Structure 1
């Protein structure tokens, strides 16, 4: 799940928002493709200021922490280099895995609800707001313990534990900030 920071801010016009949405889809689709994940294989639902992407179980979960964040950061840097300030994109990304239920209207399930709670938590919003870079990734406790912690490629040392308290949810998450001064950025933003 991916969401644009400050999408509805007063300094942005509807034209800016159209540019932001086009950039969001270019960046997300490009990062997935560059990581070996086909957009067409995934279920995706537009969120207005973001997109919910559900990857099929055939894809290794590690791809989403090992490859996708760096690809997103690189594509965000390219996008932001050529766009005016109101059309520059900073993203929050939530990583989680779990069971999903299907109905005639789309997808639902506790796993999706949990990912939304992580993505909308004050702790990840605050981390990105004080970061130098353009990307904050928050992984669920489960995703960190089962996937990221066991992968030297995912750089588990660049994640910091945070307590997420959002609506009915109180759970541990793990935040990683990606930007030009990543390691210093994480420490400063998360204290």
Structure 2
């Protein structure tokens, strides 16, 4: 009998890949990333995680808006258990170093005060800045990778675990030296020098535990 099997499809992969290129040259962004601690804890159901995600986005968006940063003006990438925000260079970076952490800590405290332990949110937050390239699929750049290395470091995880608060911030050494150290009304001394060692990255960074009663600037 003749072979009537359907022939295997032939994918013209090369031609498709050749059309995927950068849609713009690299641009400078402030990198703001947050990650929910214990998001996959066994005590949480999928409904709990949906409530956590809803509360997370509300807390982050409100913190940015109160600080003068338009949510829709930023690029937002959902991380499942967190969110990556890329703010255009037109926004002063000092806002992210002094105002956003305080506002975010307040919002988390408000959320946690009316939710069960399984629905409460404790966050790690990373701050960095750098050149980022966009292509047909999203954004990439060594600055984003560095921010995620900081976010995943033991230094900020231990700081949050040892804290009674809901937020631990880790800033890159570049962001501290170029932005935070020069903030007129902030408190650079509240940042503690640490070393973040994750995968191929070993770098100096700075950890801060925002106080929710600190006055907004």
Tell whether the structures are fold-level matches, with TM greater than 0.5: yes
What is the rounded CA distance, in whole Å, between the counterparts of 1:163 and 1:8 in structure 2?
A: 26
In structure 2, the CA distance between the partners of 1:47 and 1:72, relative to structure 1 (3 Å rule), is same
Tell me which residue corresponds to 1:90. Answer: 122
CA contact (8 A) 2:168 2:209 kept: yes
Return the offset for 1:130. Answer: 1.1
2:150 equivalent to 1:139: no
CA contact (8 A) 2:93 2:179 kept: yes
Structure 2 unmatched runs, 5+: 1-32
2:152 equivalent to 1:120: yes
5 Å-filtered alignment, 1:140-159, equals 140-159=172-191
Return the offset for 1:180. Answer: 5.9
5 Å-filtered alignment, 1:9-158, equals 9-158=41-190
Computed over aligned residues only, the root mean square deviation of the Cα atoms, in angstroms, reads 1.2
How many aligned residue pairs are there? 182
What per-residue deviation string (whole Å, max 9, x for no partner) do you get for residues 6-62 of structure 1? 000111111100000000000000000000000000000000000000000100100
What is the rounded CA distance, in whole Å, between the counterparts of 1:181 and 1:172 in structure 2?
A: 28
Higher RCO structure, 1 or 2 (CA under 8 Å, sep 6+): 2
TM-score normalized by structure 2? Answer: 0.82
Tell me which residue corresponds to 2:205. Answer: 173
Return the offset for 1:123. Answer: 1.0
Give secondary structure in 1 for the equivalent of 2:209: strand
What per-residue deviation string (whole Å, max 9, x for no partner) do you get for residues 98-148 of structure 1? 000100000000000000000000111111011110000000000000000
TM-score normalized by structure 1? Answer: 0.93
Return the offset for 1:95. Answer: 0.3
The structure number with the bigger radius of gyration is: 2
Tell me which residue corresponds to 2:8. Answer: none
CA contact (8 A) 1:121 1:165 kept: yes
Q: Which structure has the highest helix share of the two? A: 1
